[in-house]
Amino acid sequence: MANLKEVRNRIASVASTMQITSAMKMVSAAKLRKAQNAVVSFRPYSATLTQVIDNVMGDNVDIDSPYNKERHIDNVLLVVLSSNKGLCGAFNSSVIKQALHRIKDYYKQDKYIKVDVWSFGRKSSDFFAKSKEGNLIKRSDELWENLSFDKLSEISSKLMDSFAHGTYDAIEIIYNHFKNVATQQVCQERFLPLTSLNNNDSKDTKEEKKFYIFEPSREQIMSNIIPQALNSQFYKCFLDSFASEHGARMTSMNKATDNATQLLKDLKLSYNKVRQAAITNEIIEISSASEALKG
C-alpha cells in the first residue's frame, strides 16, 4: 500500500488537473455560445439561397456555368477542417480518418488519380505533412484565429478559379457538422462541380415547383448568384466546424472533470485508510513497548 506522502502528492496532482479541465470547460462553453449563435443565425440565409438555386437548376434547363461541368476525374482537392488544439475528444481524429478513407476511395477508382490536401487546422496539417497518403499542398492554420466571411470568400474564389481553369476536376470539403453541443457529425461535402447545393440543413420536403420570371436573363443571374452561394456554403462549413470544436472540447473537459472528481474521492478514501493504518500501527507499537517495560 502506498505511503501517506505518495497519496498526498497524487491528491494534489489530481486536484490541480481538475481545476485546469474545469477552467477549459468554462472557456469552451463561452466560445461555443458565440459560435453556435453564428452558425444557427447563418443557416436560414444559406438554406434559402440554396433552395432558390436548386429550384432554378431543377427544371432540366442547361445552365452554362464553369462550375457545373462534370469532367473525368484526374485531380482532386480535399479541403480538410480540423482544429489547432487538442483535448476535444475524437473531433480531429474523425476528420482525419474520413479524409484518409476518401483518399483511398479515389485510389481504388484509379491509382493514377492525384489527390491534394489543403488543410485548415494544425492537427490535420501536421498529420498530412508526415503521411504518405495525399499530397499536402497548403496549410492555413492561422485562419481559425479570426474567422471572417471576407477572408473565406477569397479562398472560396480561388477554389472556384482552380476548378474553372481545370486545375482540379473535383473539390470536396471534410469537416464536422454541428448538430448540438454533444453531437458532431463528420461530413464529406461536394463543393465542385456543382450539381445541387442541397445539404443537411435544407428541409427534405416535397414542395411544389416554383416558377420564376428572370430579368435580366437566367444565365446572367445564375452567373452572379452561384459564386455567392458557393461562398456561403464554404463559410457555413467553417462555422459548423468551429462550433463543433468547442462543443467537443466542452464535452470532453466536462467528462474529464467528472472523472477527476471521482478519482479525488477515491484517493481521499485511500488516504484515510493509509492514515488509519499508520495510526493503528503506532498504537500497537506503543502498547507493545509498554508491555515490554512492565515485563
Domains of the chain in sequence order:
26-251 (3.40.1380.10)
Instruction: Report the pLDDT value the prediction gives residue 59, as an integer from 0 to 100.
Output: 56
Instruction: Report the pLDDT value the prediction gives residue 204, as an integer from 0 to 100.
Output: 44
125 and 141 Cβ atoms separated by less than 8 Å: yes
In this model, does residue 182 exceed pLDDT 60?
yes
CA distance 260 to 256: 6
237 and 83 Cβ atoms separated by less than 8 Å: no
26-49 average pLDDT score: 91
Is 187 tagged catalytic?
no
Q: What is the pLDDT confidence band of residue 202, given thresholds at 50, 70 and 90?
A: very low
5-15 average pLDDT score: 90
1 and 277 Cβ atoms separated by less than 8 Å: yes
42 and 236 Cβ atoms separated by less than 8 Å: yes
Q: Which of 39, 53, 56, 88 is catalytic?
A: 88
Instruction: Report the pLDDT value the prediction gives residue 4, as an integer from 0 to 100.
Output: 82
Report how far apart, in Å, the C-alpha atoms of 28 and of each of 83, 142, 243 are: 13, 19, 10
CA distance 172 to 188: 7
pTM of the model: 0.84
92 and 86 Cβ atoms separated by less than 8 Å: yes
List of residues 6+ apart from 256 with CB closer than 8 A: 17, 21
Q: What are the tens digits of pLDDT across the range 89-121?
A: 999 999 999 999 999 999 999 889 999 999 999
